[in-house]
Amino acid sequence: MTSKTIFSIFLFFSLYCNLQFITETPLRKKIVDKDFKYEFYVTKKIPEIRANRTYYWFKGGAIHTSEYGISGEVLNDDFEKFYLNNQIAEKGKFNKGLKVGVWKNWHPNGKLSTYQYYDEGIKNGAFYKYNENGILVEKGKYRRDKKQGEWINLISKDTVVFKKGEVFVSKEKTKTTKEDLKKKEGKTKPNFFKRLFHKKNKPTKENETSKSKKDNVNPREKEKSKEGKGFFKRLFSKKQKTDDQLKN
């Protein structure tokens, strides 16, 4: 093999590599709509479409989103969105039309609004939300695009547990709640009957007054009363004897 042939092969290989690099280098785009300014990169290389993913692509001077297909240049590499006053509004990165890595959003005053991690177009990882004063108000995490584990609202001090995107209540907690309710009902019934019998046996004011009057009677009057009763008893006894004698 002559040196001329070797040089030709080397030159062809270099040109091929440079051409490949040029065709795969993302193209920078700048667009503006009524609310925001955008700066991003696109590539004409069509990626393999994956299910349950949201793809971002550019066509006709605007950014579009779709699932299970694209019809334009896909967004790739760095992405930035600005308010019309050039204040940063959103920043992240694309890989073949899919969001990847950390994505951040900002309030118009420059305070961080949200922090979210993406894995090949799917929310997967930590999530933080801040108010306009930059104070953390909510935090949690996603697993495969669904809320998972504890989500804490730092304003209301509430904690909600999620499992595969749905609010999760453990069976043990439900069982404990039912047992506590039964115990509570069991305690309530004896107390009800106890109060009922207590009311029945409780002396009334009239009974107490009558008893009090009896206790306060003068001893002499008690004796006179007894003597009076004895007198009438003897009188009726004598009358009964007289009647018996007359009959006989």
* Maximum separation of any 2 CA atoms in the chain, in Å: 178
Cα distance between residue 45 and residue 244, in whole Å: 141
Examine the domain organization and report whether 24 and 144 are in the same domain: yes
Examine the domain organization and report whether 32 and 68 are in the same domain: yes
- Is the pTM higher than 0.75? The answer reads no
Residue 100, domain member (yes or no): yes
Residue 207, domain member (yes or no): no
pLDDT at 11 over 60: no
Cα distance between residue 41 and residue 19, in whole Å: 19
Within 72-204, residue ranges assigned H as helices are: 171-201
Examine the domain organization and report whether 161 and 192 are in the same domain: no
Q: Are 84 and 35 in contact (CB under 8 A)?
A: yes
28 or 216: which leads in pLDDT: 28
243 or 105: which leads in pLDDT: 105
Residue 13, domain member (yes or no): no
Give CA 211 to chain center in angstroms.
65
Residue 4, domain member (yes or no): no
Examine the domain organization and report whether 49 and 137 are in the same domain: yes
pLDDT at 215 over 50: yes
Residue 5, domain member (yes or no): no
What does DSSP assign to residue 42? E
Domain tally for the chain? 3
Q: Are 28 and 39 in contact (CB under 8 A)?
A: yes
Examine the domain organization and report whether 175 and 107 are in the same domain: no
Residue 101's domain is classified under what CATH number? 3.90.930
Give the structural domain span for 186: 170-202
Q: Are 118 and 141 in contact (CB under 8 A)?
A: no
SS3 content of the chain, % helix, strand, coil (to 5): 40, 40, 25
Q: Which of 5-9, 83-87, 145-149 has the highest average model confidence (pLDDT)? A: 83-87
Examine the domain organization and report whether 162 and 177 are in the same domain: no
Examine the domain organization and report whether 227 and 151 are in the same domain: no
Examine the domain organization and report whether 197 and 222 are in the same domain: no
Residue 76: pLDDT band by 50, 70, 90 thresholds?
very high
Which residue type is seen at 146? Answer: K
Q: How many residues does the chain have?
A: 248
Provide the terminal-to-terminal Cα distance of the chain, rounded to the nearest Å: 176
Examine the domain organization and report whether 153 and 185 are in the same domain: no
Examine the domain organization and report whether 163 and 194 are in the same domain: no
Residue 10, domain member (yes or no): no
Kindly report, residue by residue over 93-120, the tens digit of the pLDDT: 999 999 999 999 999 999 999 999 999 9
Q: Are 43 and 74 in contact (CB under 8 A)?
A: yes
Examine the domain organization and report whether 90 and 129 are in the same domain: yes
Residue 61, domain member (yes or no): yes
Average pLDDT, integer, range 134-139: 97
Residue 151, domain member (yes or no): yes
Cα distance between residue 144 and residue 53, in whole Å: 11
Examine the domain organization and report whether 138 and 192 are in the same domain: no
